[in-house]
Amino acid sequence: MSELDAYRSLYIAESRENHENIVKNLLVLESEASDEAIAEIFRSAHSLKGMSASMDFKGMERLCHAMEDIFQEIRNGKMAVTHTLMDTLLFASDMMETMLDDIEAGGPGVPEDLDELVDCLKKWIGRKAGDMPEEGADRASSEIGECIAQGDLSTTVEEKQALNRYRITLCMSDQCDNRNLRAMIILQNLEELGRLEKVTPDRSIVEDGEFDGLFTVELASDAGIEAIKTVTSSSDIKEAVVEDQASPASPPAVIRKTAEPTVQKEDEKRPSQRAEKVEKGREVKNIRVDISRLDVMMNLVEDLVINRGRITEIAREHQMKDLDETLNMIGRSVSDLQNLMMNIRMIPLTHIFNRFPRTVRDIANREGKEVEFIIEGGDTELDRSVMDGLNDPLLHLIRNAIDHGIERPEIREAAGKARKGTLRLSARRDRDNVIITIEDDGKGISAEKVKKKAIERGLISEAEAQVLSREETIDFLFRPGFSTAESITDISGRGVGLDVVRTTIESLKGTIKVESTEGEGSRFELLLPPTMAIVTVMMVRINGRRCAIPVHNVVEVASLEQEYIHTIGGHETILLRNEVLPLDRLDDMFGRSDRTDILVVLQHQNRKRSIAVDLIEGQQEVVIKPLSTVVGSCRGVSGVTIPGDGEVVPVLDVNALIKET
């Protein structure tokens, strides 16, 4: 393995952050002229180019350089932001992501069509702002080619302006990892702006990292001080001072100024002063940790929770008072560690929400629709285990909202609506749960259309369709293979979608609810637990055997009165508060019990079921482990847990039980 391969993971992590920032600000730039967005794009592209050059990824360097040239023209007002240009830049960002995937897998990151894309980007440089109207964008390549062939280019900067000379004093952050690599990147970025006339100490010493973090560069450049600020605005630079040699009387520009004294000129600083400055670096407040390490830590915390309960049971059984005080302290420490670990694993939903603006744009353009996409509550946090399974369900719902919900502009105008539809993705915390909502102001769900499709497929008869409520009708959309699309496209119509969404959400121990008003829009609400690792359960006994029921599925506990039990259709039911509920004794799981006199009412979504139990032992926090691959799946059981006494206790899968009714 070469020396640079050791930095590959660091390169990938930082490059993906820069890539995400480029895409996010491209979408901002398309909707409104924003100097801040241009600056962010330029900074990210420039940083990515410098890192790629230092890692010898020539393909990525070339692509970033070509994109950077375009952003420079836009920033200087020489190029207009058009829809066609934005399509080209977004395609380039897609190529960039593909290249990063290849590099992460150990490849060179040079796709076959890279040269074609780079040439396409270069053809935009000869244009002036307003040269080509939007309606003529489809002739972009030919017109740009003619412009270049005729030499109709603006006069080069070197012909207009002599090179300026700058003296740049840089102080690296004390917490900067791989100082030599970071210094190489900075020097290469400065070299892109002009000619490095002198580096003090010598460049070879700086690139070897054998310096104390302070070095000076003399640069001849026409790029201007703002470009130099962009290059030196890095988290690796604690402080930088740029002096214009042509104007020695003017005050130097201080970049990334900290609370420490301003960097002095090299010839004015004594060694003792420089050493003192290095010691006053800022503390490291954030570090990157491999997610697999957090998973291992979480498993250890779960084991601690189990063993804490076990030790507590032993102390209670043997009445060891001397151990009680210590156990209380250990219990508090384990609880604090558990809460801390849960908080560390919590990730803001922004991490997946930020992927969708590009998806919405592409689907809307393909379908000829105008969509305003609004994201709210991205700072709401979820456990990583829940977050991992959330991307596909949200993608399905967003695609359906654009394809089935929001109408074309002319249809919306005819209906008295604004031409541009609104799609809102929001998240909020409600007690112990997180609620994610996908809402559109489209045409809504036609209950009659759903009923017609259900009748055609033989799911219900026409007579049954007449008595269905709107809620029951909409529930057909979650049947496997059910689709109301009239034609198959690459977006919908294959009968794969909402059934997958429900299955995935239920596997995350969540629920999905639909509200829709025909002609006004639809609203899908996902209710998710913040974590799946440690949950509160109710411990009960059936036929002397213990089982656990998730508390969030328990509606109430009541006495089981025999006179209220009736048999309907061969199945026992019970009348409770004027509501008829199916009654299950779970004989096939735990055996027949003659002592059941307690009723536990369970609920999943809007459906209820009751089970008969012998004894309620109380509530406790437990760690739910999945069933072993050796045991396989077991109907009605979602996993097992080990309480304090060491017994292996099954956890009931309430969702599966209620589905059987």
User: Is 48 in contact with 15 (CB distance < 8 Å)?
Assistant: yes
Check: CB of residue 605 under 8 Å from CB of residue 555. no
The pair of structure tokens assigned to 645 is 């006494």
The token pair at 601 is 């009412």
Residues in the chain, overall count: 661
Selected catalytic residue, list 19, 46, 396, 404? 46
Q: Is 515 a catalytic residue?
A: no
Tokens of 324: 């009680």
Q: Using CB atoms within 10 A of its CB, is residue 131 exposed (0-12), middle (13-18) or buried (19+)? A: middle
The Cα–Cα gap between 276 and 271 comes to 9
Q: Is there a contact between 423 and 398 (Cβ–Cβ < 8 Å)?
A: yes
Residues 501 and 512: beta-carbon distance below 8 Å: yes
* Cβ-contact 610, 581 below 8 angstroms: yes
Q: Which is catalytic among the residues 68, 239, 407, 439?
A: 68
Distance CA 412, CA 370 (A): 10
Q: Are 372 and 422 in contact (CB under 8 A)?
A: yes
DSSP-based three-state secondary structure for 239: strand
Pairing of strands 433-440, 511-517: unpaired
For 577-643, give the DSSP string: TTEEEEEE--HHHH---S---EEEEEEETTEEEEEEESEEEEEEEEE-BPPPTTT--BTTEEEEE--
Residues 6+ apart with CB under 8 A from 111: 59, 95, 98, 99, 102
Residue among 323, 312, 324, 380 at smallest CA distance from 352: 380
Q: Which among 18, 164, 400, 655 is annotated as catalytic? A: 400
Closest C-alpha among 420, 436, 324, 339 to residue 380: 436
Query: Which residue type occupies 575?
Result: L
- Rounded-to-integer distance, Cα 436 and Cα 508, Å: 13
Neighbours of 639 (CB within 10 A): 19
Q: Taking a C-beta distance cutoff of 8 angstroms, is the pair 126, 153 a contact?
A: yes
Count CB neighbours of 219 within 10 A.
Answer: 24
Catalytic residue flag (residue 20): no
Separation in Å, CA 241 to CA 189, 250, 251, 255: 16, 13, 10, 6
Q: Is residue 135 exposed (0-12), middle (13-18) or buried (19+ Cβ within 10 Å)?
A: exposed
Backbone φ and ψ of 115, nearest 5°: -60, -40
Residue with tokens 């130099």, as numbered in its chain: 228
- From CA 418, how far away is CA 410, in angstroms rounded? 9
Work out the number of other CB atoms within 10 angstroms of the CB of residue 385.
14
Catalytic-residue membership of 400: yes
**What distance in Å separates the CA atoms of residue 455 and residue 466, rounded to the nearest whole number?**
11
Report the DSSP beta bridge partners of residue 254.
241
Q: Which residues are catalytic?
A: 46, 68, 400
